[in-house]
Amino acid sequence: MSLSESNTANVFTADVNGGERPLFRADTTKIIDRLSSIPTPHWQGFGTQNISSDPFDPVQVHLSVFVAKGVAPGTYEIGDSSGNVWASYVIQRSGSIEAYLSIDGDVTLKAVPSPDNKRLEGTVSFTGKYQDKQVRITNGQFNLIEQA
């Protein structure tokens, strides 16, 4: 890994309208290989932001980008999980989870994972819906590299 990669690797940030906080900045990140997932095997770029570490009322926010295996770098419109690229914003509180699944938006993939190079890099903006509520994610940037 080059010095420039090490300064920008494992970063996941976004502006959030209607979510837990107006700025998402992941405290932890990872790439998950969802080999046997439905509807299709895919990679999941996953970031977690710890909002509250209160043991009686912990709050975490998770931002994810899902990319079906075999998708090439490029720009894609995203929607629900039936496509090749989709996203989610999840608020997890003690005893409850609000999963805002993408209903529209776009993602630009600069790098996609392969068996030899597990790196996911790009930008994302989307609207997510949970029941009758919506959240808008804009200016999302991610550069995730699996650490050995």
Q: Which two tokens stand for residue 44?
A: 């999941």
- Provide the total of helices (H) and of strands (E) in the chain, helices listed first: 1, 10
Q: How many CA atoms lie within 13 A of 97 on its CB side?
A: 6
Q: How many CA atoms lie within 13 A of 18 on its CB side?
A: 16
Structural domain harbouring 74 = 3-145
Domain count for the chain, please give it: 1
Write out pLDDT tens, residues 100-135. 999 999 999 999 998 888 999 999 999 999 999 999
Write out pLDDT tens, residues 10-30. 999 999 999 999 999 999 999
